């Protein structure tokens, strides 16, 4: 009987202990139901390759750190913001002609200070009060044009903002000092930009051309579009009815249809003529804005080293129809050496296997 009585006592004590534990746990849950559990974020590691390519220009890279994010319960989580209305077809903040001046000592850091507060990392921007009509990747083939890039960023970012574009700026830098291949760099920019975002319009822009009228919209259309119609270097007269260089726009579908640029145009000239031929071969035509607003100012410069005129390029433009199926995006080979995110742009340095 004593043993039986002792066993009952132990059972009662054990039951009370379990009840006490459950009660404490319930009180804890009630007390902490609105408390966020925050785990310390891991520090972000920035991996960089050789910086010799871009030199002192990249001394002040702005790196966005991932903020701590508290997990919210279903009862306290914020409701999603309602979708924004589409941006108007005619942007309301355009100013028309823009004064452009290159004879200044503006620095890249000064441009960051002027524009960085309204841009997202990597040279990205979205209009804050409406949904952009197009997602635009601006691709700049590049090597050793640091001063030109500074001017371009200072003038063109505000133009693109006023045009209410959802856009990103990609500077595709050719690593090394081999023969320059502008066309291949633009193919690479197309591929790399699509890895980051679902762009539907692609602007292929030389770094030395700055628009001087913001009514010249950086938007794709139903046909491949040539924007740099009237350049001061050519007295604001279109150089040729087949001209398609300088600043050109194609949708993703259009660029895929022509298989991109040829990858074999080493040195200066020819690749734009070949792209024009590709457009015609694929049964498309080009459009241009009115020359009265499609005006550009070109930054004066000498011929770049390792970008000399290549006489073989003129011969290749006669063989577009033969090469379009096998030479282009489907035969593109390159190696990404480094990707750096500045608040003004994304820099992608690449090895293009230059001869």
- On the question of pLDDT at 342 being above 60, the answer is yes
Q: What is the mean pLDDT of residues 247-258?
A: 98
Among 58, 124, 298, 351, the active-site one is 298
Full set of structural domains in the chain with CATH: 119-351 (3.90.550.10)
Greater model confidence, 301 or 90: 90
CB atoms within 10 A of CB 264: 18
Per the annotation, the verdict on 206 as an active-site residue is yes
Task: Please answer whether residues 304 and 180 qualify as being in contact, where contact means their C-beta atoms are separated by less than 8 angstroms.
Answer: yes
pLDDT band at 313 (very low <50, low <70, confident <90, very high): confident
* Structure confidence by residue, pLDDT tens digits, 49-63: 333 333 333 333 333
* Structure confidence by residue, pLDDT tens digits, 142-153: 999 999 999 999
Per the annotation, the verdict on 298 as an active-site residue is yes
Per the annotation, the verdict on 213 as an active-site residue is no
Q: What is the mean pLDDT of residues 83-105?
A: 95
pLDDT band at 9 (very low <50, low <70, confident <90, very high): low
The CA distance from 330 to 323, in Å, is: 12
Among 147, 192, 272, 342, the active-site one is 272
Among 214, 271, 274, 327, the active-site one is 271
Among 5, 31, 71, 303, the active-site one is 303
């Amino acid at each position: 009987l004593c043993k039986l009585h002792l066993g009952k006592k132990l059972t009662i004590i054990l039951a009370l202990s379990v009840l006490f534990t459950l009660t404490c746990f319930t009180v804890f849950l009630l007390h902490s139901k609105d408390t966020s559990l925050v785990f310390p974020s891991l520090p972000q590691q920035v991996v960089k390759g050789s910086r010799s390519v871009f030199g002192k220009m990249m001394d002040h890279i702005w790196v966005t750190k991932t903020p701590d994010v508290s997990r919210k319960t279903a009862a306290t989580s914020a409701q999603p913001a309602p979708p924004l209305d589409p941006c108007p077809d005619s942007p309301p903040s355009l100013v028309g002609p823009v004064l452009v001046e290159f004879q200044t000592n503006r620095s890249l850091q000064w441009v960051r200070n002027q524009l960085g507060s309204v841009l997202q990392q990597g040279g990205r921007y979205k209009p804050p009060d409406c949904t952009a009509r197009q997602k635009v990747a601006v691709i700049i083939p590049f090597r050793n044009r640091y001063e030109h890039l500074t001017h371009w960023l200072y003038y063109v970012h505000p133009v693109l903002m006023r045009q209410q574009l959802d856009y990103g700026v990609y500077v595709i830098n050719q690593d090394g000092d081999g023969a320059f291949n502008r066309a291949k760099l633009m193919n690479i920019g197309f591929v790399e930009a699509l890895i980051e975002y679902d762009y539907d319009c692609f602007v292929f822009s030389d770094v030395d051309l700055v628009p001087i009228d913001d009514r010249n919209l950086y938007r794709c259309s139903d046909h491949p579009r040539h924007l740099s119609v009237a350049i001061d270097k050519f007295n604001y007269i279109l150089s040729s009815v087949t001209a398609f260089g300088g600043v050109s726009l194609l949708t993703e579908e259009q660029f895929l249809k022509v298989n991109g640029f040829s990858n074999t145009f080493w040195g200066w000239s020819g690749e734009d003529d070949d792209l024009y031929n590709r457009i015609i071969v694929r049964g498309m035509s080009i459009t241009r804005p009115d020359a009265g607003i499609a005006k550009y100012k070109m930054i004066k410069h000498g011929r770049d080293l390792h970008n000399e005129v290549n006489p073989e390029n003129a011969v290749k433009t006669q063989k577009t129809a033969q090469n379009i199926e096998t030479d282009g995006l489907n035969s593109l080979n390159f190696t990404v050496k480094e990707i750096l995110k500045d608040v003004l742009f994304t820099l992608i340095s690449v090895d293009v296997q230059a001869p």
